[in-house]
Chain A
């Protein structure tokens, strides 16, 4: 497998404030083409920072981030944007912007200045909106949408970029279980059919185990574990990462781990209610 992204000895701090603590510390890893990677870790462990480094939204304070072998900060942002799409955790949504207009913004890196609308733009936006299931919402203003609908509108923008790499920061957080499953299925399908590389920050460990080929666990800006879900999502590993006791079971169908917090004093189902 070839590396899409490589981090070599990367450290980074948030907000580029001098003297602030490092959100990522001396991190070296490679992300491969066609992989679905989930980044896990406690709050403040540097998950979003790692994603922003890959997206080029944040420059490392030391070390280097490489995209396909080239230093990311030496590449043209526009050229990178034609290959890599990034969806931050809670992007700013101008309330009177319509879903179709938002999706069209995804063509920005592909369009040449003052050039007209190319057929390719039209096709890409149409396909992206269909994949994200927002065709029916095309004319609706973002301010009138539910959290789930808005999230799908942002996915349409990212897909309209026609990326080969998709970076997503907690894409399922505001979705109900049905829309969570829809989104994860969509990512799996794009990964299988088009070789889309996916790197996403997830909160739900079992969901990550189910959706990802590879799990990276971060703690205090350092990689605590890195590997396939069945290997790294052990009771010991996860308990140590989050500093809380968990139980790990196996999904009988997929064989992938299912993680549950072990609640002390928890009443068993056979304990009668008083």
Chain B
């Protein structure tokens, strides 16, 4: 009987989840292999174990591996944040970039880097998290009129994102920073990511990712609407706040290391939903894996397509994301 198992979806999602995990592992191996200095898989594994040729070991260990890890973590963060925000706002346009979470994070990160040059780099990620929360609060306040409607939420987000991004650009335009890192920040890029960046983002991914998975069943109930969720005993406002904080942790840390990366949070949860249906217990972990997969592959393209020059990965995700979004609009409505 169908009622004897409450989560057939999860069991049905198992192949998708393990498939995505396998693809991610392969993509990471590929990403570490390719570059100005092509490596075979066995060289990669020897480099990881820090055996064999010391130059290869340096390339694998100090350059490519941390960059691939940062890409995977950033992709996972943005995709989970997108899934949460689509659930909270019940809006397919729920996305950290569109709702202004990224722009606030970016502005605070830019201020922390450029206006307070004496501050330690470790302050950038917490600053971005705070900025993300601030913009979320501003968007919420602007959209609030005795309740939140999904459309007003998205419109307020677009407005706040435009303003905060303009302010970030203004600060960057007047700074004397290296052009490529400015471009990499504005378009979203992993230029120069190393172990420091891995250290800045992984605690956020771990804590907020686990929290997101624990909240997934709550999101399932929230999907039935505020009235039904409330009548099922949920403290809706409190849950929304908790989910917004989790999304801000994920977005803030992603923006702190990769800048204003669009489309990942918007696109990936929709793909996950097409694969496993609407149950957030499956959508959240699958989004994390697919987001990581997308960004690892996109960054490999970004590094190699016109090597030795690299383009910001955000340009690759936008080139992939824009047609994907149009396809989504045509098939879903």
A interface residues, Cβ below 8 angstroms from B: 15-17, 20, 52, 55-57, 76-82, 84-88, 91-94, 96-98, 100-109, 114, 117, 121-122, 125-126, 129, 138-139, 157, 161, 167
A104 to B279, CA, bound (A): 12
A85 touches B2 (CB 8 A): no
- B277 / chain A contacts, CB cutoff of 8 Å: 96
- A114 / chain B contacts, CB cutoff of 8 Å: 214
B230 touches A57 (CB 8 A): yes
The 9 closest A-B pairs by CB, nearest first: A81-B233, A78-B233, A138-B2, A109-B233, A92-B225, A86-B231, A15-B146, A17-B146, A100-B2
Q: Count contacts between A and B, CB distance < 8 Å.
A: 101
List 28 A-B residue pairs with CB atoms under 8 Å apart, sorted by A's residue number: A15-B147, A57-B226, A77-B233, A77-B235, A78-B233, A79-B233, A81-B233, A84-B231, A85-B231, A88-B225, A88-B231, A91-B225, A91-B227, A94-B223, A94-B224, A98-B2, A101-B279, A104-B3, A107-B6, A109-B232, A122-B3, A122-B4, A122-B6, A125-B3, A126-B1, A126-B3, A129-B3, A138-B3
**Chain A min CB distance to B237 (Å):** 11
- B234 / chain A contacts, CB cutoff of 8 Å: 77-78, 108
A79 to B233, CA, bound (A): 7
- A86 / chain B contacts, CB cutoff of 8 Å: 227-228, 231
Interface string of B54-91 (1 = CB under 8 A from A): 00000000000000000000000000000000000010
Interface string of B269-301 (1 = CB under 8 A from A): 000010001110000000000000000000000
Residue in contact with B224 in the complex, picked from A15, A105, A121, A125, CB distance below 8 Å: A105
A16 in contact with B231 given A100-B3, A138-B1 (CB within 8 Å): no
- A79 / chain B contacts, CB cutoff of 8 Å: 233
**Chain A min CB distance to B236 (Å):** 9
Residue in contact with A82 in the complex, picked from B4, B228, B233, B278, CB distance below 8 Å: B233
- B220 / chain A contacts, CB cutoff of 8 Å: 105
- A98 / chain B contacts, CB cutoff of 8 Å: 2
- B145 / chain A contacts, CB cutoff of 8 Å: 15, 17
Interface hits, B227-248 → A, CB 8 Å: 227-228, 230-235
CB-CB nearest in chain B for A114:
B214
Interface hits, B120-176 → A, CB 8 Å: 145-147
B6 touches A104 (CB 8 A): yes
B90 touches A16 (CB 8 A): no
- A104 / chain B contacts, CB cutoff of 8 Å: 3, 6
Residue in contact with A81 in the complex, picked from B90, B225, B231, B279, CB distance below 8 Å: B231
A101 touches B9 (CB 8 A): yes
A57 in contact with B3 given A16-B146, A80-B233, A105-B220 (CB within 8 Å): no
CB-CB nearest in chain A for B279:
A101
A56 touches B224 (CB 8 A): no
B231 touches A56 (CB 8 A): yes
**Chain A min CB distance to B228 (Å):** 5
A259 to B257, CA, bound (A): 70
A85 to B225, CA, bound (A): 15
B9 touches A92 (CB 8 A): no
Is B221 in the interface zone, CB < 8 Å from A?
yes
- A106 / chain B contacts, CB cutoff of 8 Å: 232
B147 touches A55 (CB 8 A): no
A5 to B145, CA, bound (A): 30
A91 touches B3 (CB 8 A): no
CB-CB nearest in chain B for A16:
B146
- B278 / chain A contacts, CB cutoff of 8 Å: 94, 96-97
A17 to B273, CA, bound (A): 36
**Chain B min CB distance to A51 (Å):** 10
- A108 / chain B contacts, CB cutoff of 8 Å: 217, 221, 232-234
CB-CB nearest in chain B for A141:
B277
A92 in contact with B146 given A55-B230, A108-B232 (CB within 8 Å): no
Residue in contact with B228 in the complex, picked from A20, A56, A77, A91, CB distance below 8 Å: A91
A56 in contact with B230 given A92-B223, A104-B6, A126-B3 (CB within 8 Å): yes
A106 to B146, CA, bound (A): 27
- B225 / chain A contacts, CB cutoff of 8 Å: 88, 91-92
**Chain B min CB distance to A227 (Å):** 28
Interface centre among B146, B221, B231 (most CB of A within 10 A): B231
A57 touches B231 (CB 8 A): yes
A17 to B145, CA, bound (A): 7
A16 to B273, CA, bound (A): 34
A81 to B229, CA, bound (A): 10
- A101 / chain B contacts, CB cutoff of 8 Å: 6, 9, 279
A129 to B3, CA, bound (A): 9
- B232 / chain A contacts, CB cutoff of 8 Å: 81, 105-106, 108-109, 161
CB-CB nearest in chain B for A99:
B2
A258 to B146, CA, bound (A): 40
- A77 / chain B contacts, CB cutoff of 8 Å: 230, 233-235
B227 touches A52 (CB 8 A): yes
CB-CB nearest in chain B for A95:
B278
A129 to B2, CA, bound (A): 11
A117 to B90, CA, bound (A): 27
- B233 / chain A contacts, CB cutoff of 8 Å: 76-82, 108-109
B228 touches A88 (CB 8 A): yes
A15 to B149, CA, bound (A): 12
A103 to B221, CA, bound (A): 11
- A91 / chain B contacts, CB cutoff of 8 Å: 224-225, 227-228
CB-CB nearest in chain B for A84:
B231
